[in-house]
C-alpha cells in the first residue's frame, strides 16, 4: 500500500543547483555539472532564473563593417594650429610615416609643385591676354584661386604628416574644389591629387592617424 507522499510514475531528475542560491564553481558546495551525455527529459522546463553551472551568457555580437563618418575632433582653433610645426623647414622630412601615407604625402607635394608652376604661367598669360583684350577676368580670378589652393595643399599635407585628421578632410575637399575650378578656367590637383587622396584613406594610413589622435600630446 502506497503512502500519500509517494507518487507513481518515473521520477524526473532535478537539475543541479535547482532551488538553491547559485554557488560559484570550484567552491565548497558548488553543484556538480551533469555527466557527459546527460540530456534534459522531454517536456522539462527550467525554472525562471535558472542558470546551468558553468554557463556564461555571451554578449550580443557587434556589427562590424558599417562606416560612420564623424567630423575630426582636432579641428584647428587658431592660425597657429593651421601652420606646420617648425614652419616649412621640415617639408621633406617623412620619418615615422607608414608607407601608404608616405606615398600620399609625396604625391601631394608633387601635385602642389606642378600646380604652382602651371598657376604662375597661367597667371602671367592671363595678364598678357587680358591686356590685349583676349583674356577674361573670370579666368584670372580662377588662376589666383588655384594658386591659393596649391599653397593650402602644401600646408595641409604637412599637417597630415603631423597626424591631423582635419588635414586629411581638407585635402579631400581640395579635390572637389579642383573639379569646380576646371570649369572656370583654373587649375587643380589633377589626377595625382586624386591618387594621393586615395592613399591617405587606405586602412594603413587611417590606423596610423587614429593612433596619433589617441596619443597624448597630439
The pLDDT tens digits of the residues spanning 166-214 come to 999 999 999 998 888 777 766 777 889 999 999 999 999 999 999 987 6
DSSP per-residue letters across 153-179: HHHHHHHHHTT-HHHHHHHHHHHHHHH
* 201 vs 4 pLDDT, higher one: 201
54 phi-psi bin (left φ>0, alpha ψ -120 to 50, beta other):
left
CA separation for the pair 78, 58 (Å, rounded):
48
Name the pTM for this structure.
0.64
Please state which of the ranges 5-19, 79-93, 158-172 shows the lowest mean pLDDT.
5-19
Note whether 188 and 178 are within 8 A (CB).
Answer: yes
Q: Does residue 106 have a pLDDT over 80?
A: yes
Q: Does residue 141 have a pLDDT over 70?
A: yes
* 94 vs 130 pLDDT, higher one: 94
Amino acid at each position: 500500500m502506497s503512502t500519500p507522499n509517494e507518487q507513481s510514475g518515473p521520477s524526473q531528475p532535478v537539475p543541479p543547483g535547482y532551488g538553491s542560491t547559485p554557488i560559484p564553481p570550484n567552491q565548497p558546495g558548488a553543484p556538480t555539472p551533469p555527466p557527459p551525455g546527460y540530456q534534459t527529459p522531454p517536456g522539462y522546463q527550467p525554472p525562471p532564473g535558472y542558470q546551468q553551472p558553468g554557463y556564461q551568457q555571451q554578449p550580443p555580437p557587434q556589427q562590424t563593417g558599417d562606416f560612420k563618418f564623424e567630423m575630426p575632433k582636432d579641428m584647428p582653433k587658431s592660425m597657429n594650429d593651421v601652420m606646420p610645426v617648425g614652419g616649412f623647414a621640415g617639408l621633406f622630412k617623412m620619418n615615422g610615416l607608414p608607407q601608404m601615407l608616405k606615398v600620399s604625402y609625396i604625391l601631394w607635394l608633387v601635385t602642389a609643385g606642378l600646380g604652382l608652376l602651371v598657376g604662375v604661367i597661367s597667371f602671367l598669360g592671363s595678364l598678357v591676354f587680358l591686356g590685349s583684350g583676349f583674356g577674361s577676368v573670370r579666368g584670372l580670378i580662377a588662376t589666383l584661386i588655384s594658386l591659393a589652393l596649391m599653397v593650402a595643399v602644401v600646408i595641409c599635407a604637412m599637417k597630415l604628416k603631423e597626424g591631423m585628421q582635419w588635414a586629411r578632410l581638407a585635402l579631400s575637399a581640395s579635390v572637389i574644389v579642383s573639379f569646380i575650378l576646371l570649369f572656370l578656367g583654373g587649375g587643380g590637383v589633377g589626377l595625382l591629387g586624386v591618387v594621393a587622396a586615395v592613399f591617405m584613406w587606405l586602412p594603413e594610413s587611417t590606423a596610423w592617424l587614429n593612433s596619433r589622435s589617441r596619443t597624448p600630446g597630439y
